[in-house]
Amino acid sequence: MNVKFLNPFVEAAYEVLKTETGQEIARGDLRLENGVYVTDDATVILSLVGAVEGTVFYSMNNETAMKMASLMMGESFDSFGYLAQSGIAELGNMITGRASMKLSDAGYESTISTPSLIMGKGASISTLDFPRLVVPLNTAAGPFMIHLALRQGTTTLKTPQMAIPRAFEASQQG
């Protein structure tokens, strides 16, 4: 794991979480983990492909996830249902998207995948030969962890960067 990939993610997470929760974020101590990641209640998984490749996890407990979704959407959730799940996945999407823009500014062009959400405690996720850098953040909603398992990529992207534009989605729906 290359440490120069860390700051874009931490900055992006600060910015996004501060906007979404409306409060300051505090960073805990960094650590490097080699073993498997044992899941917390909710984990958002995104991959990066390109000049930076690997996986990012955002993990939190149920309480944090529901508070975070409540803060983001301005309505109170008492169960981690579909809407709250989408909110949390979107949060991971926003942080990773913003981080990939910062990485691109630093000369590392990469594309991010769609988010997948894992719910349920105690499963183990292995990133195989990618060690993980873990960044604990304290937010108004509770503890929020970022796990970065990234390395400098060798893949040249066959396609330019892309996201799914709103206009395209609208036309698909219409």
| Alpha-carbon distance values, 121 to 27, 42, 65, 90, 146 (Å) | 24, 8, 13, 21, 17
Find the binder of another protein among 66, 112, 135, 137 (CB under 8 A): 112
> By C-beta, is 30 or 157 nearer to another protein?
157
Element (H, E) at 58: strand 52-60
Could you say which residues in the range 62-81 bind another protein, by CB under 8 A? 73
> By C-beta, is 4 or 121 nearer to another protein?
121
3-state secondary structure of 39: coil
CA distance 3 to 5: 5
Could you say which residues in the range 81-100 bind another protein, by CB under 8 A? 82-83, 85-87, 89-90, 93-94, 97-98, 100
For the bound state, the minimum distance from the C-beta of residue 139 to another protein, rounded and expressed in Å, comes to: 18
CA distance 170 to 174: 6
Is 28 one of the binding residues for another protein (CB under 8 A)?
no
Is 158 one of the binding residues for another protein (CB under 8 A)?
yes
Judged by the rule CB under 8 A, the positions of this chain that interact with another protein are: 36, 39, 45-50, 53-55, 73, 82-83, 85-87, 89-90, 93-94, 97-98, 100-101, 104, 111-130, 155, 157-166, 168-169, 173
